[in-house]
Chain A
C-alpha cells in the first residue's frame, strides 16, 4: 500500500546539511490507522510530506500502490495528492478569502468536477462533519475546531483512500482534539488509511499502531 525504502532527506541550508530522515523503511497497510510520535525536530513532518507526495526524498523510495513516487513529475504528484490523499494540517490552512463551502469544493475544482456537483458534495461533507449551519462562513468567522472540521471535509472532498494529518489536534483544546480524532476513527472505519502525526500520547492512543521517531530515525515499533 504505502511503503518507504531507505528513505533519506537532507535539507541544505547554505553549507550546512541537516539530515531530517535517515534510512526510514516503513510499511503501511491499506485501512490502517497509524500514529507517528516523537519529539520536536525528530522528522515527523518531513516523513509525512514524503508519504503524502508533497516532497521528494533525497534518496530512497516511496511506493504508493506500487508506484515509486520519487520518479514522478510535479504534476503527476499533484494528481496523486488530488486523487488519493487528503491533508489535514495543524494550522488548518484554509483559504481566508473563501467561505467553508468554497474551501471544501476547491480540490474538486482542481479535479475538474462540475460546479453543481462540487457544491453538492461540499455541502454533504460539511453536513457530515457537523457544519451544516456554517457553510457560508469565512474561516475567520469559525472557531479553531470548526475550521479543522472544514479542513477535514476538504480533505475528504475527492474521496481519498489516505488521510494524512500533521498534528491535526495541535491547535485545538483537548476536548475538540478528541472529537477530531473521533472523526478520523470514523473515516478509518470507512476503510481509509489514516496517518496522524502528534506528540500527544493521549491522542496517539486512539491509533492501533504507533511508531516513534528520534533524530530522523524510526525507533522499534
Chain B
C-alpha cells in the first residue's frame, strides 16, 4: 500500500508545474466555499448572538407584522400592559409608544423614529445590551429630554449632535441628555432612534397609544405558551380575533436561522461553480497524464498489473492531488474569511468575525477528495482498459 502511494507520488512529482496548477484550482474552489461559509456563520452569529441575549423577550404588537397594521386596527393600551404583566410566568412588562416624527437640528430637518418608554423600563426592553455612552440615562422626572442613538448623533445631520444640544421633535424643543452606544447588526435600528419618556411621547404624539409591549418571561421554555396566552387575552380585550401578535425572540431566532441557512446554501452553490471548474481541471490533467503514460501503463500491464492496479494507481494520484488541494484550500479559505471580515469592517463598520468550524474544514477536504476521485475516474478507467501490446509497441 505504501508503495503505490510512492509510485503515485513519483508520477505527481514528475509533473510539478501542471500538478501545481491543478492543485491550485482545487484549493481556490475549496477556499471559496470555506471562506463564504465561515463568513456566513460569523454573520449569523453576530445577528443571532445579539438576539440570544433577548431570548426571554416576547414582543407584543397589534396586527400581523411588526409596526404594520396597528393604525387601522387601533393600538394597545394601559389595560393590555397591565394584563400582560399579570400573566403567570411573565417577569416584567414594559410599554413603548412609537412614531415617526419630524426632527429639526440647527435648521436641518429629517424624519426619525421616536420611542417613548419609561426610563426604568429601558432595562426590561433591552437588558444590558443598550448602554449610554455619553451623558446620562433618562429619568422619571425628566421633562423634554431625550437620549439619542449613535446614528442620530453622527450621521443624520450635517453637524454632530452632542450632549446638551437642543433638537426639535414634532414641534417641541428637547434637550439631549445622552448618546447611546453603537449597536450595529440586527440592532442597528436602535442606533437611529430617539428615546423619550412616555409622558413626553404623549405630548409629541398627542395620544396615549402603546405601539408595542415587551414582556420578559421567567422561563424561556414557557415563552411560546405565554405568548399564546398573551394573544388570547389581548384579543379578548379588543374583541377582535387576531388583533395581537405576540412573538417570542426564540421563534424570531429560529426564523432568522432558517433564512441564514438558505443564504448560506445559495452562497455555497455559487462557490461550488469554482469547484466544478476545478474538477474539469483535474480530469484534464489526469487525461493528459494517462496519455503521456500510455507506454508506462502498457509496461505495467505486460509485467502483470491487473486493470484494478492501474485504476487504483491513477485514482490515488488524483485523490492525492485533490486532497493536498483541499488542505491548501482550507488554509486559503480561513485566510480569505478573515480578509473578508476585515473588508466588511473597513467598508461597513460592522464587526463580523468569521467563524471557522472544524467540520467545515473536514468537509472541505472530504469534498476535495471526492471531487478528485470522481474526476479521476474516467481517465483512470481509460488507462486501465489500455491494451498492453498497443502500449508497449512504441517507445
Contact = CB atoms under 8 A, between A and B. Distances in A.
A122 B368 CA distance: 37
A83 B304 contact: yes
Contact of A87 (B11, B303, B307, B308): B303
A55 B387 contact: yes
A93 B14 contact: no
B10 A109 contact: no
B305 A110 contact: yes
Given A97-B10, A109-B3, A75 B306 contact: yes
B16 interface: no
Given A95-B296, A109-B3, A87 B302 contact: yes
Given A55-B389, A91-B395, A115-B3, A75 B307 contact: yes
A157 to B, nearest CB: 8
Contacts of B304: 78-79, 81-83, 107, 110-111, 158
B351 to A, nearest CB: 52
A91 B309 CA distance: 23
A109 B4 CA distance: 8
Interface in B347-395: 387-389, 392-393, 395
A55 B389 CA distance: 7
A37 interface: no
Contacts, number: 70
A54 interface: yes
B198 interface: no
Interface in B274-289: none
A94 B395 CA distance: 11
| Residue of B10, B302, B309, B388 with most partner-chain A CB within 10 A | B302
A219 interface: no
B300 A54 contact: no
Given A97-B14, A109-B3, A154 B389 contact: no
Interface string A103-127: 0001101110001001000000000
A93 B306 contact: no
B15 to A, nearest CB: 10
Interface size class of B (residues with CB under 8 A): 20 to 34
A179 interface: no
Contacts of B10: 97-98
A42 interface: no
Nearest to B384: A74
B239 interface: no
Contacts of A155: 303
Contacts of B306: 74-75, 78-79, 110
A95 B392 contact: no
B307 A78 contact: yes
Contacts of A33: none
Contacts of B305: 78, 82, 110
Nearest to B295: A93
A93 B13 CA distance: 20
Nearest to B12: A97
Contacts of A98: 7, 10
A115 B136 CA distance: 79
Contacts of B7: 98
Contact of B301 (A78, A91, A96): A78
A45 B392 CA distance: 11
B79 interface: no
Given A97-B11, A106-B300, A89 B3 contact: no
B303 A54 contact: no
A93 B299 contact: yes
B303 A107 contact: yes
Contacts of A87: 302-303
B384 to A, nearest CB: 9
Contacts of A89: 392
With most chain A CB atoms within 10 A of its CB, the pick from B4, B302, B303, B388 is: B303
A94 B389 CA distance: 15
A49 interface: yes
Contact of A81 (B303, B307, B309): B303
Interface string B1-25: 0111001001101100000000000
Given A55-B387, A97-B10, A154 B303 contact: yes
Given A55-B389, A98-B7, A115-B3, 13 more contacts: A54-B302, A78-B305, A79-B304, A79-B306, A82-B303, A87-B302, A93-B295, A95-B296, A97-B11, A97-B14, A110-B305, A154-B303, A155-B303
6 closest A-B pairs by CB: A82-B304, A107-B303, A97-B10, A91-B395, A55-B389, A78-B306
30 contacts: A49-B389, A54-B302, A54-B389, A54-B392, A55-B388, A75-B307, A79-B304, A81-B302, A81-B303, A81-B304, A82-B305, A83-B304, A91-B395, A93-B295, A93-B302, A94-B299, A95-B299, A95-B300, A97-B10, A97-B11, A98-B10, A106-B300, A109-B3, A109-B4, A110-B304, A110-B306, A111-B304, A115-B3, A118-B3, A154-B303
Interface of A: 45, 49, 54-55, 74-75, 78-79, 81-83, 87, 89, 91, 93-98, 106-107, 109-111, 115, 118, 154-155, 158
